[in-house]
Structure 1
C-alpha cells in the first residue's frame, strides 16, 4: 500500500460566497489557525511541505482558489480584489477565528486585499515573496525575473510550478497576470492594520530586498524577515526553515499576546 505523503491533511470543498474553494487542511480547531494563499497559476500543492511543517503546532488550511488547482473554474478569471473577498468568505465558511493568513507571490496581493477589506477577521498576515515590484511591472519584467528564479530553484520545485501552470492554461494565466500587474499592493498595504511579516528568500530575484523593505515601510505594523540562501518558492524549497523563522511571529498573534515579530 502506497503511503500518503501528507496524511495529516484532509481534502474538503467549501463555498465562499458563490465560489467553490478546495481546501487541504488539518481541521483541528484546538490549534491556532493558519490559512495559506497561493500565487498566480499555482495551487495548494506547492504549500504542502510548508503545511506539513506547520501542522505539528497549528491548524493549517491550504486553499485552491476558484480556477486554480482542483477548484472549479468561474466563467472568467477573478481579479485580485475578488480573490481577496473569496479568501475572507472561505475563512467564514470554515468557521475560523482569528487566523493568520499567509500569501505567496501574487497570493500576497490577494492577502493584502483580504486584510485591508476585512481587518477584524485576522490575527496577522505574512507575505512571502510579494509581487509586484514597480521596477518590473510588466509581463516582460516579471517573465525575466521568473526565468532567473527558475535557474535557482531545484528541479522538483520547478516541476510543481510547471504542472500547475499547465493545469491553469496559458490564456487564463495571462489574463490573471494582467490583473496582478494592475494591482497596487504598495498602496493597499497601508490599510492593513493587523500585525504583518514580509518574508523573502535571500536569493529571490522576484521579490528583491529593496522592494520588500518598501512594503514594510508602507505597512502600519510589519517587519522584514529573510531566509538565507532561499529562492522565490521558499515555502517549497525550505519549509522547515520558513516555519521555524515565522514561529515567533505566529506566537505573538495568539490571543493575549502582544503584536510583534522578528527584527
Structure 2
C-alpha cells in the first residue's frame, strides 16, 4: 500500500513557460521544490518544462502514514510528468533527491534523457547513517533548535559559516529551526540503508554529477564514489557546502543548464 493513498495528494510545481523539453526536479530531505530549487527555477524554466513534487510532509503534501520508499517517490514524480503530458524528461536531483532521480532512471529507462545529480550519494555510509538517525530522532521529538544546531555547521561551507557574525549565526539557526517541515523525520529515515550502486551501473544516459566540494554533510568522497558508479558520468566541482542554492545559485544554475543544453 502506498504511503500516500492518492497520487493527487502530492503537491506539484509546474513551470512550462518555455514549452521546452521536460525537466523533473527531485528535492532533498527536509526541503521542498521551492526551498531547494526556488533560486534557480527561472533559469531552469527558461528552456524547459519544469515539473516537481513535494514529498510527503513538506510543501503542500500531507505527511505519510507509513515509512517512505524511494520507489514511491520516483513513481509520484513520473506521475506528475504524465499529468503534464511529458513523455520524456531529464531529471535533476539534489541530495536525497539524487537517490530519487536515480531510481526514476532505473525504473523508467526509456523515458529519461539525462541525469544531473547534485550533492548526493550512492550509499549511506556509517557517518551519514549516524547523522540521519540523529536527524530523524530529533525531528520526531520536535527538537528543532537542537536539530538546527546539528545541521547548520554540516550544511554550510566553512567559508560561509565562519563569515557570519555571532548574531547572524544565531539568526540562521533560528530560521533553520523554523523551516523544518512535519515530514522531515520521514525523509531522514529514508536515507538509512540506501545503496544504489547496482542501479547506477545499469543506467545509460548522459549524466552530470555536480560535486559540492566544501560539503560536510555529504562529503566529496561520497559524491565522487557515486560518479564512479555511474557509467560515463561527467563531474563538475562546485566550491560550496551542501546548500548550492543558498551559497552559489548562479554557478549551480549555469552548470545544470549548460549541461542540459548540450543534449538538445
Q: Answer whether TM exceeds 0.5 for this pair.
A: yes
CA offsets 1:113-157 (integer angstroms, 9 cap, x no match) = 111111111111111100355252423377698453245357698
Equivalent residue for 2:218, pick from 197, 207, 210: 207
Structure 1 residue aligned with 2:99:
109
CA offsets 1:5-63 (integer angstroms, 9 cap, x no match) = xxxxxxxxxx9963522222322362122221111121112211111232333322342
Structure 2 residue aligned with 1:181:
192
Cα distance in 2 for partners of 1:212, 1:151 equals 16
Structure 2 residue aligned with 1:192:
203
User: Which sections of structure 2, spanning at least 5 residues, go unmatched?
Assistant: 136-149, 162-168
Structure 1 residue 75 corresponds to structure 2 residue 65: yes
CA root-mean-square deviation? 2.9
Equivalent residue for 2:17, pick from 25, 28, 34: 28
- 2:57, 2:184 within 8 Å by CA — same for their partners in 1? no
**Within 5 Å, which residues of 2 pair with 1:12-91?**
18-28=7-17, 30-46=19-35, 47-91=37-81
**Within 5 Å, which residues of 2 pair with 1:228-243?**
228=239, 230-243=240-253
Cα distance in 2 for partners of 1:248, 1:195 equals 13
Cα distance in 2 for partners of 1:16, 1:180 equals 22
Structure 2 residue aligned with 1:12:
none
Structure 1 residue aligned with 2:127:
136
Structure 2 residue aligned with 1:247:
257
Which secondary structure does the structure 2 equivalent of 1:182 belong to?
A: coil
Cα distance in 2 for partners of 1:176, 1:244 equals 28
Cα distance in 2 for partners of 1:92, 1:236 equals 31
Equivalent residue for 2:88, pick from 98, 108, 122: 98
Structure 2 residue aligned with 1:257:
none
- 1:66, 1:74 within 8 Å by CA — same for their partners in 2? yes
Structure 1 residue 149 corresponds to structure 2 residue 154: yes
User: Which sections of structure 1, spanning at least 5 residues, go unmatched?
Assistant: 1-14, 255-263
Cα distance in 2 for partners of 1:64, 1:99 equals 18
Q: How has the CA–CA distance of structure 1 residues 26 and 181 changed in structure 2, closer, same or farther, with 3 Å as cutoff?
A: same
Q: How has the CA–CA distance of structure 1 residues 16 and 64 changed in structure 2, closer, same or farther, with 3 Å as cutoff?
A: farther
Which secondary structure does the structure 1 equivalent of 2:258 belong to?
A: helix
> Following TM superposition, by how much is the alpha carbon of 1:66 offset from its aligned partner in structure 2, in angstroms?
3.0
Q: How has the CA–CA distance of structure 1 residues 209 and 19 changed in structure 2, closer, same or farther, with 3 Å as cutoff?
A: same
> Following TM superposition, by how much is the alpha carbon of 1:181 offset from its aligned partner in structure 2, in angstroms?
1.5
